[in-house]
Structures are given as structure tokens and as C-alpha cells.
Structure 1
């Protein structure tokens, strides 16, 4: 019986150590993506090493929602020696409920801006006729992980913005928030399309 207790204790200790190791491994920070893993040209160029990378930006504005603020920034990233340039947008979401948490970021390449604007226009026109069922959800996603979702609620319709496929809590816009967000995206595109200052 003494031997059986020792075996039971050893198995219990081993199980505890395995569970502890698994928990520690789950809490390790995710590795920084390599340039091949980036979904956008902006991120890939910003991560270049061994080059002088110049990042120009204009913060166009922000839109407030139920959990914080979304900031829209026009971006121009240049590999100065090579002359390679990429343009696009950055969307940064700060969570008012978690002020100590890092802000979420999504990048949108220039070639995605026009389709994003069309997607927003389509989402803004949606109503209960979108489906014969009682509720609906419509989603638009960019390569860089920006997700716009509009959905029905008991009080009507709501729109949310999230990044990284919505792994964190959604940032829910006020009723006029999607139109405001669209205006910011349009303003950022105009800033990128403007001729260089003389």
C-alpha cells in the first residue's frame, strides 16, 4: 500500500508539472511576424532591416464608440536608399475600459482603400431586407486585419470595428459612427492623393 501511494503521488506531481508547463507555454508572447508573414505591403516595408525607412504620417481624425476611440492615419513609408514607397492607412483602436492595454493596430494598403470605401457604402445601405431571417450580420475584412461588422440588435442595427479578426472586444460605433469613419478614410485617401508640397 505504501508503494501504491508513492506511485499515486508521483503521477499527481507529474500531472501538475505538465499542466503548469502547458499554462506557461500558453502565456508566452507571440513571436513578431517575419516580413513573409505580414499581410500588407506597409507592414512588410516598415519591418525592413538594414535600410533607412522613412515613415510619413498625418493623423486625419478619430471616431468615438462604446469602448474607446478609433484613430485613422494616412501613411507613406519609403525605403530611402532604394526609393521603394508604399502608401496606405493605419487604424489604431484604444480601449477605454483597459487604458493599460496596448492599442490595437491594423494597416490598409493603398490598393485596398477604394474597395474598403465601397464595402462601407454597402454596409451602410443594409437593412432588414438583407435576409429573410429575423437577424443578420455583415462583415468586411481587410488583409491587415481590420474588420467592420454590422449586425442587428433588439434596438435596431449596430456596427463594430475590430482588429486581428476580432480576437479582442469589439469597438462598437455610435449610430452615425460608420459614416464618420468612412469620412476619415476618404480624407486620408485625399491626403495621400494630394500632390507633394513644393
Structure 2
């Protein structure tokens, strides 16, 4: 890609990230193009579908979550690692309104542009869960699909104005239910910082 084309592509992505953060996964592609100062055709040349655009936007965040899981696996106790990563995954799901539905659909559709990234993140979380289970620190009746579903559920609740102020509290409750021994600083610290009802 030529330098000027790369610069235009990066600018388009930066604008798209802002618009999707503001409006959610259903953000208007026309609005993205208008704010970027390009025609809709230019946007479609780079991203032929909404899913293709979201895949590029979300891939970096999903890759960061995967990398974070690897770091936590070697630097934290199994319960602390799982609780910390779970919190970050929920924050990601909440950051882009509407992404939960896309991720749930993508995980079940190998043809989806988001499928590989979602499967990789779910696998990273599963490894943390299995490690905690092997040490007797997490419920044995959960699997990676359950963990992914809990992240999605909390992400969806965060999108609802009436529930959003309680997300930290609910996250602490879910993390305590997943762990057989609460993560000492992560879960309790979150309880202390939670927003009152």
C-alpha cells in the first residue's frame, strides 16, 4: 500500500473507531465516511461490509486480550489471572456497544470475518480457566463457552443505561461465583470501588 493510501486508510480507521465507540456496532457507515471526509464508495473500497470494518477495528483489542491472557498466565496466581482477565474482557465488550451480539454470532459462524479473533480470545480465556480449575481455584462445572457467555452477558448489561452503574458490582459477584477462592485483591478491590446503586 502506498504511503498516502496507508495514511488515508489509517485516518478512516481512526474516525471509524471514534464513531463506533460513540454509536456502537450499528454506527452509520455513511456517518463514518462523512466524518472522515471521504465518499461512501471510498469506505466500501477499503471495507466491503460492516463486519469487515468491525473486524479490523476489533482485532487489535481482541489481540490485546489474548496477549494479556498469556502475560497473566505467567505473572499472576491462577485466580488473580482469571479475575483480572475476565474484568478486562468485560470492559472490552462494554467499550463497543452492540459488539456482544456480533461476537456471539461470529463464534458460531466459521465464515465470519470475526470468527478467528473471537475463537482465539475464547481459547485464551479457557486456558486461564483451566489453569485455575487445575489448582482448585475455579468451579469445575464451567468451560470456555460458559466464560465467554458470562462476558457477553455482562457486556450486554453494561449497554443498558439502567444496569450500567451496577456493572462493577455485578462483575464482582460473577467473579466470586466463578472462583472457588475469591481473588484477594482483584475482586475485593472492585467491590470497594463499585458505584452505589
TM range (shorter): under 0.3
Q: TM-score, normalised by structure 1?
A: 0.26
Structure with greater strand share of residues: 1
Q: TM-score, normalised by structure 2?
A: 0.26
Larger gyration radius, structure 1 or structure 2 = 1
Structure with greater helix share of residues: 2
